[in-house]
Amino acid sequence: MASRISIVLSLLVAGCTTIETNEPASELPYGCDDLVVIGRIATVGSTTLHDRDEVLPNWRSEWRLQVRVKRIVRGSERRQVIPATAISHAQIRDDRDFLIVLQPKEGGAYNLETAALWQVRPRLILAEPCS
């Protein structure tokens, strides 16, 4: 049994390689009042948006989210769990850390503007719109 597990693990590890690329870093834009954090995003609910002008009606949803903050990169927020909403075609995964741009809205909540996987951070830089 242990030898089977060792073989499977060695095959999995062999398949996990890192490839260095010479791609230029991508800028992650944000506004002067936006909050930029590293954290995880949990979906707590959704509402289907009915847009008759789209080719595929009912394709997009408004997602109610909880952002669990691990580190604040820009801006300030005291809460460790922040309510947010996002409009997209699918919900975001909750098992990975993201670099997240949140735009404040009334009532202490935020709109999720952008979320980029934190594991690709060497190819991400924050644009500097504010001084």
Q: How many CB atoms within 10 Å of residue 92?
A: 17
pLDDT digits (tens, 9 = 90+) for 20-71: 444 555 667 778 889 999 999 999 998 888 766 666 666 778 899 999 999 9
Provide the pLDDT for residue 21: 43
Domain range list for the chain: 23-126
Instruction: Say what the pLDDT of residue 24 is.
Output: 55
Q: What is the distance of C-alpha 22 from the center of its chain? A: 24
Per DSSP, the residues of 103-126 read EE-GGG-EEEEEEEEGGGGGGEEE
Q: Do the Cβ atoms of 83 and 68 come closer than 8 Å? A: no
Given the candidates 3.40.50, 3.30.70, 2.40.50, 3.30.1300, the CATH classification of the domain at 23-126 is: 2.40.50
Per-residue pLDDT tens over the stretch 63-100: 999 999 999 988 999 999 999 999 887 778 788 999 99
Sequence-separated contacts (24+) of 114-122 with Cβ below 8 Å: 114/28, 114/29, 114/30, 115/41, 116/26, 116/28, 118/38, 122/25
Please report the pLDDT score of residue 18 as a whole number.
Answer: 35
pTM, full prediction? 0.69
